[in-house]
Amino acid sequence: MQIANHTVASIDYTLTGPDGKVIDSSQGRGPLAYLHGASNIIPGLESALAGKTSGDEFVVVVPPERAYGPHDPNMVQPVPRGNFDGIKEILPGMQFEARTPQGARVVRVVKVDPDSVTIDANHPLAGVELQFAITVIDVRQATAEEISHGHPHGPGGHQH
């Protein structure tokens, strides 16, 4: 069966960045299951998987525009040091969960000054070109329930 809308595909993947370092992998966790056509995965990867079938192996390079978007400089902002009350030491690279009008999001510290802390609220992979090495493990028809939920159930998918 070919990967198309309303199919659930299970894939093994290794994600590497432009420097060749592994960012994420399904190794040790088992294949990732996703519902095709439901935006469960980034657009550049989803479109590369369309038409593939179990046993297919391929590598796809996904530009930021088809992955986590470009890096938005407006999302890098200084905030008062006092916002981090109770935290003794703040260092570049640390991550915090910030409450925003759009809900909780993870921000990273990029610079620490005596009175202010510069944080970056972009997705950590924003602006990054991603390379995926993919092996398609299985393709099956999605159930009506999975289609209505917008995600797959069972191994590698949602457990509920």
Ranges within 20-79 binding Zn ion (CB under 5 A):
none
**Which region, judged by CB under 5 A, interacts with Zn ion, from 11-19, 47-55, 125-133, 144-152?**
144-152
The nearer residue to Zn ion, 81 or 149, going by C-beta atoms, is 149
**Which region, judged by CB under 5 A, interacts with Zn ion, from 23-31, 85-93, 131-139, 141-149?**
141-149
Q: 32-35 and 76-80: which strand pairing? A: unpaired
Contact indicator for 28, 155 with CB cutoff of 8 Å: no
Beta strands (DSSP E) in 113-159 are 116-120, 130-141
Q: Of these, 46, 105, 149, 159, which contacts Zn ion (CB under 5 A)? A: 149
Is 147 among the residues that bind Zn ion (CB under 5 A)?
A: no
**Which region, judged by CB under 5 A, interacts with Zn ion, from 2-10, 16-24, 54-62, 145-153?**
145-153
Is 158 among the residues that bind Zn ion (CB under 5 A)?
A: yes
CA 117-120-125 angle, 5° bins: 150
Instruction: Tell me which residue of 56, 54, 58, 45 sits closest to 1, measured CA to CA.
Output: 54
Instruction: Tell me which residue of 73, 79, 72, 68 sits closest to 119, measured CA to CA.
Output: 79
Is 140 among the residues that bind Zn ion (CB under 5 A)?
A: no
The nearer residue to Zn ion, 105 or 140, going by C-beta atoms, is 140
